[in-house]
Structure 1
Amino acid sequence: MSETWLLACILLAMVGGLIAGVAKPATMFFIALLSTYLLGLVDLNQALISFTNNGLVVLVLLVLAATALEKTWLIGKLSQVIGKGSLYSTIGKLGLSTALLSSFTNNTAVVASLIGVVRRNQTHAPSKLLLPLNFAAILGGTLTLIGTSTNLIVNSFVENAGLTPLGFFEFTQVGIIIVAVGLVVLMLLANTLPDRREENVDEALPYLLEAHVAKQSQLVGKSVIDNRLRSLKKLYLVELERSGIRICPVPPNMVIQAGDMLRFSGAVESVELLHQFDGLEWFGKQHAKGQNLVEAVLGPSSKLVGTSLKDARFREVYDSAVMAIRRGHAPLKGGLGDIVLQPGDVLLITPGDRFTQSPNLTTDFAAISGLDLNVRLDDKRSNWVILGFVLTILLSVLEVVPLAKGLVVLLLSYFAIGAVSLTELKRRFPIELVVIVGSALCLATLMINTGLAATLADCVISVFNGQGVFAAFVGVFFITLIVTELITNNAAAALAFPVAYAVATSYGVDPRPFIMAVVFGASASFISPYGYQTNLMVYNAGNYKISDFVRVGLPLSVVYSLTVIFTVPYFFPF
């Protein structure tokens, strides 16, 4: 059997496995690459070179850099647009903000950061916002080279083929039109989505959280209800203390004053809500440096039992601050630092650098577990994280410093100021993405070298025989789009690029329009929840059904496709 047919069988088996869901995409790609090595289609050096591709390195560094960006005030400011105004205006503002943010950061990180914020809003049902949020992030990824992993992967293929690399803003002209048209469609269709609000939201175990109203707080002078303190999902204002007098329950028309102590009861994920309010100094805020939170359960023999956090000098002894306390299902009352602790109490802790070295840690706590939640960075660190990222991108666009080198320096600076930790970077390292992209690069090169890409290109050309190069361009776009819905965007790009390049070569035209067909086709996963990782994220978070994706995604996909088909040839002539 010739190398061409052998490779075709391997790829056919891989695609079949991806469609059938036999294993994760990373596993299927690795098996395919391993098969080509074992069958002698590629040697070890050629296979390993694919994993050191510049585009792949940049992609990994961007994912890691997003770890720090997620902890800045940027996401918090974006979350403030939710719940203000009608559903249409909320979709418009949220969609535009998400698209712009997604154009410069990993859209998976953007969606992941905003899911919790959207689900906690009380004004609009999360099911009416999460799908438009997700689609806006996908649309925003088409604006720049780093907007989505697909763009970077295709650029890697372009470089491997010896072509001029894609420019940072090469997509932008088409992308702006796509975003504008797409957001209009989302605003018109959002109201057709069902209202599937979560049930039994009050069953979450209640933590007691405490916050002090600072003099400069925007809450001062407005009532509880005007400050929206009574419409926080899974977080309830249970007590207000003023001049030593505790007021419980808190009247909705009571005007907040500087110096008031507010006490909330709510679920652990509701801690994030306190970040929304400027000038609200929550308990333990001074100790927060963007680290992940820890839950610690008091053991029966703990010396903390029978005393309070204040009397035990908890912060000094354990180098950490307690943000909240939970005692089973029973709501706690009183000052956080004055509560007399009991065995089984759960403390929500912002740990310091020496927390794990604290004496008697194992005897004082029956269990300690990390949470996939983190507190915001302080303003100084947040500003540097954002400024550093913008500066890195700007230097890359101006061709002063290569993006990969700039991101390495940026990550080192994040590590130096404590914006990220080594543990966080290990946890967020995108190993599956590395396996998929590295394997795809090698397989794409093999498709070109063995002539398989040319054979498939001849099949595409024969289908559109006599219809001209524009028809072939449309065909490549729709092939990529369909494959994206069946498998994943990165896999679709890997399989479609060699064919698109071979088709352009056969016609003797500029390959740029065909490359763009792959770029935009692979980013058009709107109909299936399985075509893109963020689709799956909101699919579960919003309690959606496949019919919901079809209801909004199909019209959006049609409008998106028409926009691409008529704008790409205009900006990128054949």
Structure 2
Amino acid sequence: MEQVILTGIMLALIVCLFATRINAAWLFTGAIATSYLTGLIDLESMLANYANPSLITLVLLILVSIAIEKTTLVSKLAQSMAQGSLTKAVLKLGLSTAFLSSFTNNTAVVASLITKVKESKTHAPSKLLLPLSYTAILGGTLTLIGTSTNLIVNGFAVEAGMAPFGFFDFTLVGLAVLAVGLVTITIMLKYLPDNGKNDDEVVPFYLEGRVEPSSKLVGRTVEENGLRDLKDLFLAEIIRGERRICAVTPQQEILSGDVLLFVGDINSVPLLQRFDGLKIVHDKHEKDVEHLVEVVVSQSSRFLGKTIKEIRFREQFHAAIIAIRRGHDRLQGGIGQVKLQAGDSLILAPSSDFYALPNLKREFVYISGLDLQAHLSSNKSNTVLASFATVIGLSIFGIVPLVKGLIVLLGALVLLGTIKVPEMKRRFPIELVAIVGSAIGLAKLMIETGLAAEISSSLLWLLGDFGPYGAFIAIFVMTVVFTELITNNAAAALSFPVAYALASGFGVNPLPFVMAVAFGASASFISPFGYQTNLMVYSAGNYRIRDYITIGLPLSLIYSATVLIVIPFVFPF
């Protein structure tokens, strides 16, 4: 009966992860809560999962990385990146990013470097930003603390009775995938779009204009008003009250109050100003559209998933949104109805009060012409980096456990004012804690109730003729598919119990199977939505989904082949 109940819970979880847009944190929390309510797990055991040492380590690393982001290390690396040819620039950028990502949160690394890359005068940002994201992912595989996935898998392994991973247990395989990954990226650079200043392709911003009652446009058709022959602008939709008019024809009449939605080049905004009574910026204050700024929405923004109208953007930021872009995605409806996502590019007409707002660097990872990073002095930077390196070194040599060292370091950074308490509150990864703590509990239940063994028995029947190596490949492929379709942490949570049970069924060392889960969960290269850093550079680099497929698919295949060859050599069955 326990297996039947847990099967129902896990099936519901998987279906919701794949078929709905419900936040994964709510789904995993709901699954473990249901397990508690149905008597599969007691309250004490359920809560203990959220105090898992690997999870606590992950949280501490994320909080300590706040100080590391403020050091001069990132800015110094960034200054040398753009020098030389494109290949040299990408290699320097890749190696620097991989190094930083192997010790700190890779999302924070990408957020810190986006500004420097976008403002490069040597190379088009579109040639650098996707390699930035990919090398951050590859760098995360180098060490135990390089990515949340490695720490989470370590937590699963310890709960299953395995020995904890060492700091450099992932490094040999990680170095192999980083090497082949960098070679692949440099070879494929010519296929990345060159969305530079001289690019003839129209940057697809999404603009909105309202027809005022006194406008001369009223009562005349689109063609009569000259709205069909605009340079680098296309009239995509008209919103008339509650009605949306798509595929606008030349004979469509313009009425008072119509909202005209254009897709095209933001530099064409002045063209729209020549139309009498077409208001581009809707605000009680007049904005100077010659002084526009571009911002990229941060993954830490409070407003993700909410519409621009819901958050009352103009009141919050003293700026009006006149255009929005999400990669090359075709947005629908008025700008006010667009739900913000991490990586969205917004064109703002700001008031002077905008620049004085204290929450800009929480909400945006990039603002044109403005450095969002709060930098420490050279002495403080060196002290922070030396302290962090000391904590890592003491852990590697077994002198002080990593958790203890990070607790002391975080306390010292707070006392010295290097990290502010509000910053910690803002960056505390509550969703990650909810997902990982719940996932650890579900993984334990799958093993303890025998459900994982039942699943592995079925897989053994299917894969038995292929032996342990065939099962190892199957687990890796399953994890990669899960990672591209849902999140990396959810993929690891779903794959680990099956991988562990399969290894037990074959009577072999579970380590290569567990490593397959860890490296499979980090293999998100084909979609902008599978990994946070991919999404962050999506609009910033003006990419299309096909760009991810063109570069990411070969990279994913070569990454997979390398992992499947190297892991069995480093961790024999």
Q: Normalization by structure 1: what TM-score?
A: 0.71
| Structure 2 residue aligned with 1:370 | 359
Q: Distance in 2 between matches of 1:483 and 1:347?
A: 41
Which amino acid in the other structure matches residue 556 of structure 1?
L
Q: Tell me which residue corresponds to 1:186.
A: 185
Counterpart of 1:422 in structure 2 is: 421
Once the 2 structures are TM-superposed, how far is the Cα of residue 148 of structure 1 from its aligned partner?
0.2
Aligned to 1:242: none
Q: Does 1:536 align with 2:525?
A: no
1:431, 1:91 → 2: CA distance? 34
Aligned to 1:553: 552
| CA distance, structure 1, for counterparts of residue 563 and residue 494 of structure 2 | 20
* Aligned-partner residue type, residue 31 of structure 1: G
Q: 1:497 to 1:329 in 2, by over 3 A?
A: closer
Distance 1:80 1:455 in 2: 55
Name the counterpart of 2:339: none
**Within 2, Cα distance between the matches of 1:21 and 1:108?**
25
1:481-536, CA deviations, whole angstroms, 9 ceiling, x for partnerless residues?
11111111101111111111111111111111111111111111111222222222
1:113 paired with 2:102, answer no
Does the alignment pair 1:45 with 2:34?
A: no
Deviation at 1:176, TM superposition (A): 0.8
CA contact (8 A) 2:144 2:170 kept: yes
* Contact kept in structure 2, 1:196 and 1:543, CA below 8 Å: yes
In the alignment, which residue of structure 2 is the partner of 1:64? Answer: 63
SS at match of 1:93: helix
| Pair 375,266 (structure 1): closer, same or farther in 2 beyond 3 Å | farther
Question: Is the counterpart of residue 436 in structure 1 residue 435 in structure 2?
Answer: yes
Deviations 1:75-111 (A, max 9, x none): 1012113321111111111001111111111111111
Contact 1:82 1:121 in 2 (8 A): no
Q: Greater CA deviation, 160-169 or 523-532?
A: 523-532
Equivalence for 2:448 = 449
Query: Matched residues in 2 for 1:38 and 1:539: separation?
Result: 41
- Please report how far the alpha carbon of residue 269 of structure 1 lies from its aligned counterpart in structure 2 after TM superposition: 7.8
Indicate the residue corresponding to 1:138 in structure 2. 137
Cα deviation, 1:30-77, whole Å, max 9, x if unaligned, reads 111122122222121111000000000000000000101001001101
The answer to whether the 8 A contact 1:395-1:401 is kept is yes
- The correspondence of residues 276-287 of structure 1 with structure 2, limited to 5 A, is none
The separation in 1 between residues aligned to 2:115 and 2:480, in whole angstroms, is 30
On the 8 A contact 1:381/1:417 being kept in 2, the answer is no
Q: Which residue does the alignment assign to 2:75?
A: 76
Who is 2:514 aligned against? 515
Q: Deviations over 1:98-125 (max 9, x none)?
A: 1111111111111111112211112222
Q: Residues 351-430 of structure 1: matches in 2 within 5 Å?
A: 369-372=358-361, 373-430=372-429
1:156 offset after TM fit, Å?
A: 0.3
Structure 2: how far apart are the matches of 1:123 and 1:10?
Answer: 53
1:319-361 deviation per Cα after TM superposition (whole angstroms, max 9, x unaligned)? xxxxxxxxx989xxxxxxxxxxxxx854856xxxxxxxxxxxx
Q: 2: distance between equivalents of 1:476 and 1:185?
A: 24
Question: CA 1:22 to 1:105, structure 2 compared with 1: closer, same or farther past 3 Å?
Answer: same
The one-letter code sitting in structure 1 at the alignment partner of 2:360 is L
Alignment of 1:98-497 (within 5 A): 98-197=97-196, 345-346=352-353, 369-372=358-361, 373-497=372-496
Name the residue aligned to 2:5.
6
Q: State the match for 1:85 in structure 2.
A: 84
Secondary structure at the residue paired with 2:146?
A: coil
Q: Which amino acid aligns with 2:510?
A: P
Question: What amino acid is the match of 1:133?
Answer: L
Please report how far the alpha carbon of residue 133 of structure 1 lies from its aligned counterpart in structure 2 after TM superposition.
0.7
The unaligned stretches of length 5 or more in structure 2 are 205-290, 297-315, 319-347, 362-371
1:139 and 1:62 map into 2 onto residues whose CA distance is 18
SS, match of residue 509 in structure 2: coil
Q: CA deviation at 1:22?
A: 2.5
Match of 1:433, SS state, is helix
Q: 1:81 to 1:19 in 2, by over 3 A?
A: farther
Going from structure 1 to structure 2, the CA distance change for 1:124 and 1:20 (only over 3 Å counts) comes to: farther
Distance 1:187 1:56, change over 3 A: same
Amino acid of the structure 2 residue aligned with 1:548 = D
Once the two structures are TM-superposed, the CA of residue 191 in structure 1 deviates from its matched residue by 2.2
Cα distance in 1 between the residues matched to 2:447 and 2:179? 37
After superposition, the Cα gap between the structure-2 partners of 1:438 and 1:329, relative to the gap in structure 1 and judged at 3 Å, is closer
Separation in 2, partners of 1:432, 1:345: 35
- Residues 469 and 163 from structure 1, CA distance in 2 versus in 1: closer, same or farther, beyond 3 angstroms? same
Return the offset for 1:446.
Answer: 0.7
- Secondary structure at 1:70's aligned position in 2? helix
CA deviation string 1:179-222 (max 9, x = no partner):
01100001111221112348899xxxxxxxxxxxxxxxxxxxxx
TM-score, normalization: structure 2?
0.71
Structure-2 residue corresponding to 1:32 = 31
- Counterparts of 2:447 and 2:153, CA distance in 1: 15
Distance of aligned partners of 1:380 and 1:18 in 2 relative to their CA distance in 1, 3 Å threshold: same
CA distance in 2, matches of 1:546, 1:423: 36
Partner SS state of residue 467, structure 1: helix
Distance in 1, Cα, partners of 2:531 & 2:374: 28
Q: Residue 369 and residue 573 in structure 1: after superposition, are their counterparts in 2 closer, same or farther (change >3 A)?
A: closer
Contact 2:153 2:518 (8 Å CA) reproduced:
yes
Q: Quote the Cα distance in structure 1 between the aligned partners of 2:27 and 2:317.
A: 40
- The residue aligned with 1:567 is 566
Amino acid at match of 2:83: K
- Could you tell me which amino acid in structure 2 is paired with residue 81 of structure 1? S
Identity %: 52
